[in-house]
Chains A and B, each alone.
Chain A
Amino acid sequence: MLDISDLVTAYGKIDALKGVSLQVETGKITCLLGPNGAGKTTLMMTIAGLLHPRRGSIRLAGTELVGLSPARIVGHGIALVPENRLVFPQMSVRENLLAGAYQRNDKSGIDADLQQMYARFPRLNERNEQLAGTLSGGEQQMLAVARALMSRPRVLLMDEPSLGLAPLIVAEIFNIVRELNRDGTTIFLVEQNAHMALQVAHRFLLMEQGRITFKGMPGQLAEDEVIQRAYLGTRRAAG
């Protein structure tokens, strides 16, 4: 579904992504793990069009996304649930969700999806008219996910959904990820929480210092090695 090849994104003279290539398979959950500063968020922002890569290509079902504006990329079917949620704080839960459907004009379809979101995320239903800025971290995360879903994306990108959340909420979030995927959504997930991520992933990748250093399935690497590399990075010296 999503085919990234040789992607290079730089901040000034520093390459944050040093030639990243990976595939996200349709209908599956692909997880990208890696330590802080590895470039995971940079990758997400590049796919979403917020950053422009120096080189490389990002193809969504064959269509080239590099060079398109973020709005066009959303139009092609990518939705990003960003790191730190980024809800619209002065707008109500309902308005946040409607904003997620900004590019759609099928009113009945939007209303139906809205009801579906309330069913899937009951807490959002309760707080329907509340200002998003007053929600708790976990509720904002759910709102951000629901908002992204409102555009009926072909690929859902999630950047560290467990960040700053209590373990119970994190478990809830990952349940939702599993559910969404069961209902057919392709998910590309970036995480620091290797343990939870490995439980839902069909495939996972490791990113260290701007490069993909491992591609495979959960179980191919011992979990503690994965966690070590995800949090600390590979030790270059012998061993």
Chain B
Amino acid sequence: MIDLIQNTVDGVMIGSSYGLLALGFTLIFGVMRRLDLAYGPSIMIGGYFGTLLYLHYGAGPFAVAIAVVIGAVIAGIYVERLCFAPMKAGAAIASMVSSFAIWMQLEQAAILVLPRHTYPFPPLATAAPLEFGPFLVRVDHLIMLACALALAAAVHIALYRTRFGLALRAIIGNPVAAHLVGINVRTAVLLAFAGASAVGGAAGFLVLAVDQQVTPMFGMWATLKGLIAMMIGGLGSVPGAVVGGLLLGIVEANSQWYFGPQIRDLVAYVVLFAFLVVRPQGLLGSAPEPAMPPKA
């Protein structure tokens, strides 16, 4: 029982980052109706910016975080300009495959610049873990949770209390009508991409700082976690992204504890598959039919 609770607590911590990753993903999907397979790799590029800053200048976590976000945004804009902006309405698959091509490009570019298998990241906190009775909570985990929740709240405010947020929700709701009310859709989409990359970058920084390392495999890992959390929580749903992330984190933490890392990954996919078959719109999503053009 104690293990279950401890795992759940740990799961919530890491799950909050999954939620942020899913948040960026879902924003991009909502606005473009297309899947950006280069999402995780762009964040990884940010991570490499961060580690460079750390290695060469010994920068502290705050500066590294900013570097990660900047790197992720630059990479994100690159992806948007190349894979999404120039594509016509019906070319959804082409966009996805194009983003996959850029995923590979970014991964190889990262390996070329920093060829070692792993690079260090500054820790979020070095204090000893806090004790709450029989439970242990790492200080850096707490910081990660707090930051993730704050960011999710910020995104919510941006979406629902700002003019730009209104524009994004309009585009998500009906892209043609968004044009008709005078929203500059192309610019808004680009900014949404940048924003989503920034959110992803922040999530990436938190995970990397807790892990204290970055590897070139981080890109695929981030994409997968974000994707699974997004689908479980509900495609195109902002609160769904957070909930999906938390749920994924809890399920993973417990699976790993009782059955080991391989089963942990297996369970994540089983849960995803089960949701898709039984309830494709996830926990909080709306339409079971995606707005994405479903045909090739």
Answer yes or no: A and B touching, Cβ < 8 Å: yes
Given A91-B169, A99-B166, A71:B182 Cβ within 8 A: yes
Given A69-B184, A89-B174, A50:B179 Cβ within 8 A: yes
Kindly state whether residue B149 has any CB partner on chain A within 8 Å. Answer: no
Q: Give how many A residues have a beta carbon under 8 Å from the other chain's beta carbons.
A: 26
Q: Which residue of A lies closest to B183 (CB)?
A: A102
**In the complex, chain B residues whose CB is within 8 Å of the CB of A79:** 180
State the Cβ distance, A89 to closest chain B Cβ, in Å: 6
Kindly state whether residue A95 has any CB partner on chain B within 8 Å. Answer: yes
Kindly state whether residue B118 has any CB partner on chain A within 8 Å. Answer: no
Interface locus among A52-60, A80-88, A161-169, A211-219: A80-88
Q: Please indicate which of the listed interface residues B163, B169, B178, B182 has the most CB atoms of chain A within 10 Å of its own CB.
A: B182
Given A88-B170, A91-B170, A71:B163 Cβ within 8 A: no
Q: Give how many B residues have a beta carbon under 8 Å from the other chain's beta carbons.
A: 20
- In the complex, are the beta carbons of B174 and A71 less than 8 A apart? no
Where chain B touches its partner, the secondary structure class is: helix
- In the complex, are the beta carbons of B182 and A90 less than 8 A apart? no
Q: Please indicate which of the listed interface residues A79, A99, A100 has the most CB atoms of chain B within 10 Å of its own CB.
A: A99
State the Cβ distance, A192 to closest chain B Cβ, in Å: 21
Cα distance, A5 to B166, chains bound together (Å) = 36
Cα distance, A48 to B166, chains bound together (Å) = 21
**In the complex, chain A residues whose CB is within 8 Å of the CB of B176:** 50, 82, 86
Cα distance, A75 to B181, chains bound together (Å) = 9
> What residues make up the interface of A, taking CB atoms closer than 8 Å to B?
48-50, 69-71, 74-75, 79-80, 82, 86-91, 95, 98-100, 102-103, 147-148, 151
Closest 7 pairs (CB-CB, A-B): A74-B182, A88-B173, A86-B177, A70-B179, A103-B182, A71-B184, A99-B181
